[in-house]
Structure 1
């Protein structure tokens, strides 16, 4: 047994602790392929400070630039007090958010966020402009490299922050501008009147959460005009759509609480209670909330979040007036939503019709659902389709829960190689029998009638929503041929049609595997495109051996392990905020064959490339 002495007790300085335990400060690391990856949390931590300045009445504009891996943020608030610039970005538990007079109802509370960005950046610069003077400091991994004296300036008051995430921490990372755009839109919607410029494009909202819901929903897909309710420190917008599931966007002090919390739970509870009281019927809560699309935002002093990343509110007793969060939200919804329904009888009729439709659909499938679930429970005892892993996404105490992945494969040969190569702790495999059913325009009854779909939803545990989702990543792993592409499309249709939150919350991916193996006696190169193959041939020379992988089953387990580990290439299936799921599915899966054919013909292109000056063979895409 090893000895436990004074020598085993270690004291880390602030930057060493952040770099050694980054998950405590920014959640998971990731490489930028998911919206909650660490590199986006770094951007958010800097932006939160600028937003807090705006909320306090200082600065109506924020400018953001993304230059490959470098992020530049300039606000026009008060600017950090010049004598404390270095302390505010490098001394833990130091900041202005502890003073409730200087910052009320802010997101930042613990004096940690900016320090985490500094410690986890290969380059970090902060510059404060304040009353005609400026102070600049630069850092590398939290270590100061440049401390300039205070100088005169003609710049407007505010703060400039520049940082570049450290490649040693965020391996092979890349920013997805679409994810940043979603983040920025949320800030704009939550701060009506604030102008945010991102790479030259302006983001601005006049109507707050009403604009957010208009942006997130297609007006042809909602059952009645959006209800917009606004009070002191609370704002709500809601409607019902034609899609399955519930969809919520919740915020606390401008922070997007993607995992909800006490405020969202209170909102969901309140909507059901108001509907039951208004219509005088004991509706099932699932029928009231089915297909609801809503956003709720509250502002409170000193909110308590369940982690440093602030994705779930845990506060109970910090609402205005000393009320509990639950009571504060319940009182507001009970009064304002009830009043709205009385004043707008047409909307009230539309809501009742939607509830009754959900009730009818639920009862119609209840019998088949019961039988299907009984079969699924029996199948789960010996589910040959699922090779499960040991850790799951719902295991809150497991540090590696973010790594949990379910690979959906076609056929036994592909799943065999994957199963042998996988990490049994965090990677599971679900094997399809063949091409799944095209479920576009079908009702949810088909999920229970189709054995594979039913087993898949049970494997994921998403039958009643994604709160209990068992895997953080759902990766479609199919052959890189026409049939494989078709299976991808059919699976995407399944999720978008019946479980859109899986896609909207960034859990669905498509696995990229190499098309070619190019090797000689000394080196092996795996290539994901014709272009990469030609480069590999050029670099290896002497007529290397070239293998074309026609299917996943041709890749040996030893090789497969290299493609599903830390360097796995998995492209997220993402939707732009303004994209309508109905429109996407109608185009790709609907009966508009002529339109699709015309698009393909019009967009055929011939490409050529060169490798070190030599022409490659022409490709047709």
Structure 2
């Protein structure tokens, strides 16, 4: 029976209803906090952006952040919201000072939506504004006003204090990961020299901008001291290492544009053009950018981002009367980088040698790559390793950011996942067994080893991760010794040859339940002993307990519970201070006395079983 489409079908939602009904329009994906671009971090960032804008306008050089029991508190020392407009600024759409370009000329947020979204998506939201010895406080829940106090006197210095708790009916099973928050804070500091941010008592500050960013990000020695150049509304930094891949950091008006945009595209183009002109040789672009680590920050008036989450710049011009973003970046890099290399011939010599080494390596494996592609083309029609999905990240279509691929061990595990997956967004790649330990090998092994080559082709990362087909690459192995070993071997492969996959937050480990506790009425799936004990207490006498030894033992009907809305993922995080080479050498190199001692000290024996 068809539904009647009439005047009664038309609804008008108020601001908070619309945000809560369509949160993705305002904060991107929801997530549970296991990914750095999940909604709970966007909420924090939206409030932080307002505080950063105050600093950029010259007011307040300190911001204090506290996160405890999922309650977030952000205190800045800027001018403070005008007391008569505190309620309106956080609860009325199209209300805010960002529309006045004289007050906020080159700010991060321009449409005044962000803090309203935080308000609507929080079970508790309190804002306090302090101005000239007076204070105004308003409290909301799910965007509805709960308490509004009259203006009172205060000893607090000027600024604003926002406290919020994400609504757990929208952000289900969420948790904050400190590394993600720290990276966000560090980026704010790199782009705002002189700004001091404290997070749960720890102080963050940068004195040298993007130069500090590059030095802190390098996990392997750079081949030459980073080139650091700045001008009006632009700052760049460049160096090269011996690791595989390309690593870029891009920012607009203090916003970390993780998906790049017009400014990053122009930056990559200008580096290639400048070095070709300087060395008077038509080097391949891939040879110039191989092993590069670079950063760019620009400021533009009224930036146009491709979404409310501001992760990709769409602006064509730097301002109403300024040049195009492309010309602005290209002209600056061409002039300043060229001048730098003329003045520092030692750096130019090292750079030339690195480009020539990349060229030799590329040509040395070109024949192997050709054979590998021919072999892959022959087997592609009969390749049972990849069971693809319909939506892919590199298409930039709606829902593509939900795309994921499970890398499984053996056919039994892949069979369960394949039968229970979402065919639109979830792909499966089945390993034959334990992959090769790739530590210390050259990139030739990626093409000589059929399994690695097919995996690389499935992910579409041969030429970098810009065309990565899946937003989440999920290692799904058994929680036993063999499964752990396979995880290590796969992580080694990605760290060795495609470190950007991990650095940019695309690699995850799938958690699967170890126990099923049930009776005829209820079933609990438990991921550890603590959850098993709680489940047994809830069910009481007669509880049936099943221990899952492998993924293949879990039926497809059950498996869909673990890879759907309630999926549990552990992100693979590489901390800034960790060296990839040292990590791989310790865990995957020769069995050194240091590693033997580490194993002895970290062995746990429980119930006569080594865990």
Instruction: Provide TM-score, normalisation by structure 2.
Output: 0.97
Is residue 575 from structure 1 mapped to residue 574 from structure 2 by the alignment?
yes
Alignment partners' CA distance in 2, 1:172 and 1:442: 41
Is residue 557 from structure 1 mapped to residue 561 from structure 2 by the alignment?
no
Contact 1:300 1:320 in 2 (8 A): no
Structure 2: segments with no counterpart, 5+ residues: none
Alignment partners' CA distance in 1, 2:265 and 2:591: 42
Alignment partners' CA distance in 2, 1:410 and 1:283: 41
Aligned to 2:257: 257
For the structure 1 residues 529 and 401, does the alpha-carbon distance in structure 2 shift closer, same or farther, using more than 3 Å as the test? same
Cα deviation, residue 471, structure 1: 1.2
Contact 1:320 1:328 in 2 (8 A): no
Aligned to 1:166: 167
Is residue 512 from structure 1 mapped to residue 527 from structure 2 by the alignment?
no
Cα deviation, residue 379, structure 1: 2.4
Cα deviation, residue 403, structure 1: 2.1
Is residue 225 from structure 1 mapped to residue 225 from structure 2 by the alignment?
yes
Aligned to 2:446: 447
Aligned to 1:120: 121
Cα deviation, residue 151, structure 1: 0.9
Aligned to 1:199: 200
Cα deviation, residue 22, structure 1: 0.7
Is residue 108 from structure 1 mapped to residue 109 from structure 2 by the alignment?
yes
Q: Mean alpha-carbon deviation: is it higher for 575-584 or for 100-109? A: 575-584
Aligned to 1:26: 27
Is residue 346 from structure 1 mapped to residue 346 from structure 2 by the alignment?
yes
Contact 1:88 1:94 in 2 (8 A): yes
Cα deviations by residue, 1:222-278 (Å, 9 ceiling, x for unpaired): 111111001111001110011111100000000000000111111101111111111
State the secondary structure of the residue aligned to 1:563: coil
Q: Mean alpha-carbon deviation: is it higher for 515-524 or for 493-502? A: 515-524
Alignment partners' CA distance in 2, 1:448 and 1:190: 40
Cα deviations by residue, 1:424-479 (Å, 9 ceiling, x for unpaired): 11111110000001111211111111111111111111111112211111111111
State the secondary structure of the residue aligned to 1:66: strand
Aligned to 1:538: 537
Alignment of 1:56-135 (within 5 A): 56-135=57-136
Cα deviations by residue, 1:527-569 (Å, 9 ceiling, x for unpaired): 2223332333333333533222111111111111111111111
Alignment partners' CA distance in 1, 2:423 and 2:534: 35
Aligned to 2:139: 138
Alignment partners' CA distance in 2, 1:580 and 1:242: 13
Aligned to 1:526: 525
Cα deviations by residue, 1:81-123 (Å, 9 ceiling, x for unpaired): 1111111100011111111111121001011000000000000
Cα deviation, residue 382, structure 1: 2.7
State the secondary structure of the residue aligned to 1:503: helix
Cα deviations by residue, 1:253-306 (Å, 9 ceiling, x for unpaired): 000000001111111011111111111111001100011000100011111111
Alignment partners' CA distance in 1, 2:230 and 2:256: 18
Cα deviations by residue, 1:496-520 (Å, 9 ceiling, x for unpaired): 1111111111111111111122223
State the secondary structure of the residue aligned to 2:281: coil
For the structure 1 residues 336 and 308, does the alpha-carbon distance in structure 2 shift closer, same or farther, using more than 3 Å as the test? same
Alignment partners' CA distance in 1, 2:83 and 2:345: 58
Alignment partners' CA distance in 2, 1:618 and 1:69: 38
Cα deviation, residue 159, structure 1: 0.3
Alignment partners' CA distance in 2, 1:583 and 1:280: 37
Cα deviation, residue 604, structure 1: 4.2
Aligned to 1:424: 423
State the secondary structure of the residue aligned to 1:575: coil
Cα deviations by residue, 1:24-70 (Å, 9 ceiling, x for unpaired): 11111101000000000000000000000000000010000001211
Cα deviation, residue 321, structure 1: 6.1
State the secondary structure of the residue aligned to 1:135: strand
Cα deviation, residue 381, structure 1: 2.4
Alignment partners' CA distance in 2, 1:337 and 1:424: 48
Aligned to 1:489: 488
Q: Mean alpha-carbon deviation: is it higher for 64-73 or for 574-583? A: 574-583
For the structure 1 residues 73 and 619, does the alpha-carbon distance in structure 2 shift closer, same or farther, using more than 3 Å as the test? farther
Alignment partners' CA distance in 1, 2:154 and 2:522: 57
State the secondary structure of the residue aligned to 1:332: helix
Aligned to 1:322: 322
State the secondary structure of the residue aligned to 2:110: coil
Aligned to 2:235: 235
Is residue 600 from structure 1 mapped to residue 595 from structure 2 by the alignment?
no
For the structure 1 residues 377 and 93, does the alpha-carbon distance in structure 2 shift closer, same or farther, using more than 3 Å as the test? farther
Aligned to 1:474: 473
Cα deviations by residue, 1:346-378 (Å, 9 ceiling, x for unpaired): 110110011001000100111110111122233
State the secondary structure of the residue aligned to 2:108: coil
Alignment partners' CA distance in 2, 1:341 and 1:407: 46
Contact 1:537 1:543 in 2 (8 A): no
Alignment partners' CA distance in 2, 1:325 and 1:523: 59
Cα deviation, residue 203, structure 1: 0.1
Alignment partners' CA distance in 1, 2:76 and 2:225: 36
For the structure 1 residues 137 and 348, does the alpha-carbon distance in structure 2 shift closer, same or farther, using more than 3 Å as the test? same
Alignment partners' CA distance in 2, 1:593 and 1:518: 42
Aligned to 1:12: 13
Aligned to 2:409: 410
Contact 2:302 2:319 in 1 (8 A): no
Alignment partners' CA distance in 2, 1:22 and 1:543: 43
Contact 2:134 2:153 in 1 (8 A): yes
Aligned to 2:310: 310
